[in-house]
Amino acid sequence: MSALGLAAMGSYTVGGRAVTVEGRAKRTVALSAGLGLDYDPNGQFWIEQAYVQYFVPSTQRVEWPLVLIHGGGLTGSAWETTPDGRPGWLHDFLVAGFAVHVVDNVERGRAGFCALEGEWDGMPIVRSEQESWALYRIGDASDYVRRIPYAGQRFPYTCLGELTRRTVPRWPATIDAQRRALLALIERLGPCIVLGHSQGGGFAIELAATRPDLVRAAVALEPHGNFSSIGSVALHNRPLLLVSGDYFAQSALWRDLDAKAQGALLAWGRAGGIPHTLRLNNQGLPGHSHMMMMDEGSERIAALIVEWLSDVTAGQPRG
Amino acid sequence: MSALGLAAMGSYTVGGRAVTVEGRAKRTVALSAGLGLDYDPNGQFWIEQAYVQYFVPSTQRVEWPLVLIHGGGLTGSAWETTPDGRPGWLHDFLVAGFAVHVVDNVERGRAGFCALEGEWDGMPIVRSEQESWALYRIGDASDYVRRIPYAGQRFPYTCLGELTRRTVPRWPATIDAQRRALLALIERLGPCIVLGHSQGGGFAIELAATRPDLVRAAVALEPHGNFSSIGSVALHNRPLLLVSGDYFAQSALWRDLDAKAQGALLAWGRAGGIPHTLRLNNQGLPGHSHMMMMDEGSERIAALIVEWLSDVTAGQPRG
């Protein structure tokens, strides 16, 4: 990787709520072979916060911090080393001069999940490697066993296991809590740029659509989510970039999600925003999966986004 | 914080095992407002891996990588920004010239937990703020409500909420899996230094006691765990440093754990290792809690450990 100078690095939590538990029975638990504790499940807890790790490069070329929002079933580690061991977008954006704030959203990764009874509905689900293979458009579901990907595939599919090991459980019931935590994050940061992938791309669009006072530019990588908030606030020429990869012909699900995202982009324009589209196939970059930030050539996609962000933020008033 | 040059940064996973789930019923779940999926709980999963984030400073003054192992109920974020917003030990050790590998052990943080039925016994537990207050020797349990700490307390107790928000659930049943993941980690790294806190300190001692070929020096901050492996392998002058804080007089539990740790240190010497003790009270540094890496003055403790590591590693053959 490129050597990197940092002016600052650290982490913080944001959002969430305090919960008081009362009236439950104590019990003894062994926390290690050396420590058996009388565990009291009662008391004060905090749930539904997001965790954010940030890095500020010594040479900051872009004024506003860049918030990276991972997709569902993943954590902020999605932006780090790729499954085949190359530097990820966290590195690429730092080298490009962005201060980067990497989110672990509610219940994912270092944000911690809620283990208190009765707070969250249902049980967590976790994505199998087979589902990743098909949902991320690496190859046809029927070809998972033989690991034969779509022709020209740029996802490092021989290292799929590393992505499986970074896939974490999720609760379908926490979408509103995730939305609230992200809103608390941008309110803390002030003017910023948001970039989200998949579920995180849907959140990026929502944040940008509802808080154009804070979100100066938004990038959504194959987003899905609730786009109904677009139009609730005038968007004052705020730019939104929709990025999409290859193999939509092979997936009815993704054609449907892409059509919805294109609809969101039209609504964005009607609401006074400036819609942009980056179809990688049309840029001479075919073969990209849904996990484009991990694909071979991921650094070229990052470079296109950096170029776009430089263009659309250059003309905006500071502060 | 001090500006910092990095030669490399990234992350990887290590250890764990593949699990195949079969014969479970499919169901529909809403992964976002835009995406309802036929969720198939069957397939290939990976559980019990550890996640490791690493940083290599441009000026590396110590040959062996330093592995930081968090305590129970916490993640690698314990080494980052302190609850009151100061740079943590990750920063301090990087500035001192160590390549630092920060673990999220099995089921904690970005390592992800196992959501597959029948794999892990029991339910996760989570530590309340009241338990943290007392167990970390911030103050007497009866003084939590009024937030009156022990006299001279250096833990930033007015920011205890930030620690609560970084406290994550844990399964008492995963101790063996955590041990295996850490062993896989040092086998991947080769010669290294391990530094662990609390439950992580117990693991650090175990690793050092069983693999002195790999662990060139070990630091244990108020450890607890299974010390019975000390003596199973000759320790060939390998150094072990035991670090402890203040307020043991106020806690029968910690006096007992400290006595066990002192016993481990005696066994360490009998097995041919070189035992060292750093009682912060005896160094003119009173008032430290169990969370010494987060306390006011944490950088002074890091500096003492850096000095000790420089001494004990200087005389060892390289490679």
**Residue-wise pLDDT tens for chain A (319 aa)?**
678 999 999 999 999 999 999 999 998 888 777 788 888 999 999 999 999 999 999 999 999 999 999 999 999 999 999 999 999 999 999 999 999 999 999 999 999 999 998 899 888 999 999 999 999 999 999 999 999 999 999 999 999 999 999 999 999 889 999 999 999 999 999 999 999 999 999 999 999 999 999 999 999 999 999 999 999 999 999 999 999 999 999 999 999 999 999 999 999 999 999 999 999 999 999 999 999 999 999 999 999 999 999 999 987 776 5
Domains of chain A with CATH codes: 6-18+47-314 (3.40.50.1820)
Looking at residues B226-251, what average pLDDT do you find? Answer: 97
The overall average pLDDT reported for chain B is: 95
A128:B44 CB<8 A: yes
Query: Contacts of residue A131 in chain B, CB cutoff 8 Å?
Result: 40, 43
B38 pLDDT band (50/70/90 cuts)? confident
Give the C-alpha separation, A45 to B200, whole Å: 23
Give the C-alpha separation, B214 to B64, whole Å: 10
Looking at residues B264-293, what average pLDDT do you find? Answer: 98
B14 pLDDT band (50/70/90 cuts)? very high
For the cut 60, the answer to whether the pLDDT of residue B218 exceeds it is yes
CA distance A259 to chain B (A): 11
Nearest CA in chain B to A141: B43
* Closest to A135 measured CA to CA, from A194, A69, A199, A83: A199
Instruction: Give the model confidence (pLDDT) of B89-107 as tens digits.
Output: 999 999 999 999 999 999 9
Question: What is the reported pLDDT for B239?
Answer: 98
Give the C-alpha separation, B315 to B292, whole Å: 28
Query: Would you say B225 and B194 are in contact if contact means Cβ atoms under 8 Å apart?
Result: no
Q: Which of B10, B110, B225 sits opposite A81 (nearest CB)?
A: B10
B35 pLDDT band (50/70/90 cuts)? confident
CA distance A80 to chain B (A): 6
Phi, psi of B215 (to 5 degrees): -90, 110
Nearest CA in chain A to B163: A13
Query: Would you say A157 and A139 are in contact if contact means Cβ atoms under 8 Å apart?
Result: yes
Looking at residues B304-315, what average pLDDT do you find? Answer: 93
Tell me A256's DSSP state: H
Phi, psi of A55 (to 5 degrees): -140, 130
For the cut 70, the answer to whether the pLDDT of residue B230 exceeds it is yes
A34:B113 CB<8 A: no
Query: Contacts of residue B16 in chain A, CB cutoff 8 Å?
Result: 165
Phi, psi of B111 (to 5 degrees): -65, -25
Looking at residues B192-214, what average pLDDT do you find? Answer: 98
Find residue B173's DSSP bridge partners. none
B168:A80 CB<8 A: no
- CA atoms within a 13 Å half-sphere pointing along the CA-CB vector of A63: 13
Question: What is the reported pLDDT for B319?
Answer: 53
Question: What is the reported pLDDT for B66?
Answer: 98
For the cut 80, the answer to whether the pLDDT of residue B34 exceeds it is no
For the cut 80, the answer to whether the pLDDT of residue B216 exceeds it is yes
CA distance B315 to chain A (A): 31
Q: Which two tokens stand for residue B277?
A: 């003790």
DSSP letters along A49-110, please? EEEEEEEEESS--SSSPEEEE--TT--GGGGSS-TTS---HHHHHHHTT--EEEEE-TTSGG
**What one-letter code names the amino acid at A75?**
T
A32:B202 CB<8 A: yes
Helix or strand (DSSP H, E) at B219: strand B215-221
Query: Would you say A99 and A56 are in contact if contact means Cβ atoms under 8 Å apart?
Result: yes
Mapped onto helix, strand or coil, the DSSP state of residue B161 is: helix
For the cut 70, the answer to whether the pLDDT of residue B40 exceeds it is yes
Produce one character per residue of A11-33: b if its CB has 16 or more CB atoms within 10 Å, e if not: bbbbbbeebebeeeeeeebebbe
Sign of CA dihedral A104, A110, A111, A115: positive
For the cut 80, the answer to whether the pLDDT of residue B316 exceeds it is no
Where do we find the tokens 């537990």?
A: B125
Range in A162-166, A300-304, B189-193, B313-317 the model is least confident about = B313-317
